[in-house]
Amino acid sequence: MKMSFSLCLLLLSPLAYCAEDERSRSSVTIPIKEYLEMKEKVEAPPIKSVEEAVLRGSFGKSLEIQFSGASSGKQDKREISEYSDGFALSNCSGDAVLDREGNRVLLVPLSKRFRLNCRVNVPNWNSVEIRLSNVLFFRSEVSGAQAIVDSKGNGDRKIVLVPKTQELRAPAATVTAVGRYQLTALPDEIRFKYDWLLNNPSRYVRDYEISWKNTEVVQEIKTNDTYDEKPGRLIIKLRPGDNQISASGKFSGVQFVPLVPSEQQYLLIESHPLLQLNITTAARRISVSEAGIGPQFANAQVYLFGSGNSFQWKTRKLDLIESLGYSVQNGSYRYYVPQSGQSIVEASFTIENQGTPEIPMEIPGTPTYVEVNRRAEPLYKDPQGRLLVRLPAGRHDVLIQYRGTQNHRGLMTYVGSSLAKPATVLSNVGLDLLMPEKWKLIFGMGLLQPQSDFSFYLFLWALVGGGAAFVFFKMLSFAVQKRIALACIFACAVVLQPAILPWGLGIAVVLVAIHIRKSLVSWIRHRPKLAVTCGSVLGVLVLLIVWNFSNRRLMEKSDWGLTSNIAQSYLGKSQDGPSSKRFQALSDGIAPMAGGLDLEVASNSDTGRSTAYTGVPARIPIPASARVITFSQEFVDRAGSVNAHALFVSTGFLKAIFYTLITVLALILFRNRSLLRQWIQKPV
């Protein structure tokens, strides 16, 4: 038997060792400080709530105060009052203790539900003032005194005990009042807001009555005082000192009488811009800044009222004259005429918007781009197909780009169009007419101003050249018809190529000098000094004429090629470096990317259906190498229009005409060369 018991112990000992080893592996040893920190994190945060403070006793004899509340979590201190010589607590008993830190009195709960009773030591019963903090509710059960409670926004309370018998001993004191009344007349109703500042000079709470003498419908009353609403009146319990009361609601009458007896009352009356008030009163009118009332409308009027003043008015609704809610301070246009394709127009406006949400504009073409304050916007339209520009209130820079309806091709083209314009007056309007360098402007009219590459002085020089040619060919004994034809041909050649004038005059002078060589030599021999002087003057004049027509041409220098490579302008000198597709659209004159005035494009290649255009389009660039002709006008009336008319011709075509005229002139001279030979061989 002993042997079997020993065998059992021997067999069970390894199992006991394994169990002990398992327990050791499941536990960890840490310092006590770390354990307390971990425990504090896991536990719920401490909460201390002082739910009620009750002041009991008999005024003038003894007072006690009772604090009650709840606590959870770790014991912590809670501030309940401010220490002062006029309010000292002693002989406390209950489930909490008091502590003091500086001028703060702190409460430390000892149980989850606590109650603490303390005696209040009052050194001076004439002035009993108690300050409580962090107390949810206060109640006074003091006999022989009235508690005046002044609650602060941060949870503090100031409690003053005033003996009830003092009301009988105190002299009668009048409550002073300052009233501020605001009446706002709207198209459908009249709203009022009343503010009173009432001063109670007594040391006790007094009842003050405000009667609703007018047809007020009171909707809201704001005050920190206790009040009671009775039919047609309001009874307020005024605390000692200043008391603020506000009332607001609807006003349904047409006359006003002050509600409190005071000589310092202000009435501000104002109306909506659609209304006009005809006021009748004996009260004195003062400025708005003197009343301390914030008006809502600019037509506000303020009156100083006394107790016996009254106020009446009549309301009249005004009819509005039709007007626009926006103005255009300046506008500028850029009208680009390509050598082949549709024109591109950019209209820029500075708009001062006063509240018009959408500005419709008639576009004489296909809109392609809208920009507001340098930001691209989607293209919108109204049911009439007009472009809608959406603008918030304020000052905005608007740019609209669209394609014209005319196609420009060939050696000559005409532009005649009314440009896009808002339905209002335009001030400081400018128009830039842009065209390729290989075009010449025969005549242009923009903003009632004419322009041309062929100036008046050019035609004057052509007339001089034609007259000189007529005289020269008369000296050659040409027939009258031939002289007139040759003079007209030479004048037209001067118009087309002004540089030919000095060369033609120089050749004519040389031929005349050869013809009169004998007389010229004789004259030089007899008058050498005068001959030198005349020769110098003549040489200077010739040099001036050659310099003027060779380096400062009356027509701008241009390339006389028959064709213009718009692709080189776009790909080499464009403003924004457009893609080849956009260039192809411009040069070939195809429809723009927006797809027409309905501004609809395919939404998705997968669905294959068409929806309203909601994306932001790209701006078509205008070549930077284009020539610019500027027009300006200070004022365009609302009913007026901004027009652009111009006739262009290719410089290659003009050059061909010039060479044709020179050829005809040379042929006529060649056929009549015998007359020229005879004239030269007969010196004078």
| pTM of the predicted structure, to 2 decimals | 0.46
Laid out side by side, the sheet with 275-281 consists of 255-256, 311-317, 275-281
Read off the pLDDT of residues 481-533 as tens digits, 9 standing for 90 and up: 888 888 898 888 888 888 788 788 778 777 777 777 777 677 677 777 776 77
Q: From CA 644, how far away is CA 444, in angstroms rounded? A: 8
Q: Is it the case that residue 95 has pLDDT exceeding 70?
A: yes
> What value does the mean pLDDT of the chain take?
77
Residue 44's pLDDT is what?
Answer: 53
Sign of torsion over alpha carbons 632, 633, 637, 641: negative
Q: Is it the case that residue 246 has pLDDT exceeding 90?
A: yes
Q: Say which residues have a Cβ less than 8 Å from residue 576's Cβ, sequence separation at least 6.
A: 619, 621
Stretch 169-179: mean pLDDT: 74
Stretch 639-653: mean pLDDT: 85
Q: From CA 585, how far away is CA 368, in angstroms rounded? A: 12
| % of the chain beyond a pLDDT of 70 | 79
Stretch 376-398: mean pLDDT: 88
Residue 546's pLDDT is what?
Answer: 64
Read off the pLDDT of residues 6-28 as tens digits, 9 standing for 90 and up: 544 455 455 444 445 555 556 77
**Going along 30-112, which residue ranges are E strands?**
47-58, 62-72, 78-82, 88-94, 96-101, 104-109
Stretch 163-174: mean pLDDT: 59
For the record, the structure tokens of 34 come out as 């770390």
Residue 578's pLDDT is what?
Answer: 36
Q: Is it the case that residue 191 has pLDDT exceeding 50?
A: yes
Q: Say which residues have a Cβ less than 8 Å from residue 163's Cβ, sequence separation at least 6.
A: 59, 60, 144, 145, 146
Contact between 568 and 520 under an 8 Å Cβ cutoff? The reply is no
Read off the pLDDT of residues 44-79 as tens digits, 9 standing for 90 and up: 556 677 888 888 888 888 888 888 888 876 667 788
**Going along 385-494, which residue ranges are E strands?**
387-390, 394-408, 412-418, 426-435, 439-446, 449-451
| % of the chain beyond a pLDDT of 90 | 10
Other beta carbons less than 10 A from residue 50's beta carbon:
24
DSSP symbol at 175: P
Read off the pLDDT of residues 292-336 as tens digits, 9 standing for 90 and up: 898 988 889 999 887 667 788 888 876 655 556 788 888 899 999
Distances (CA, A) of 238 to 180, 203, 235, 493: 18, 10, 9, 106
Tracing tokens 């718009």 back to the chain, one arrives at 566
Confidence of residue 611 (pLDDT cuts 50, 70, 90): very low
502 or 371, greater pLDDT: 371
Backbone angle region of 441, left / alpha / beta, with phi > 0 → left and psi within -120 to 50 → alpha: beta
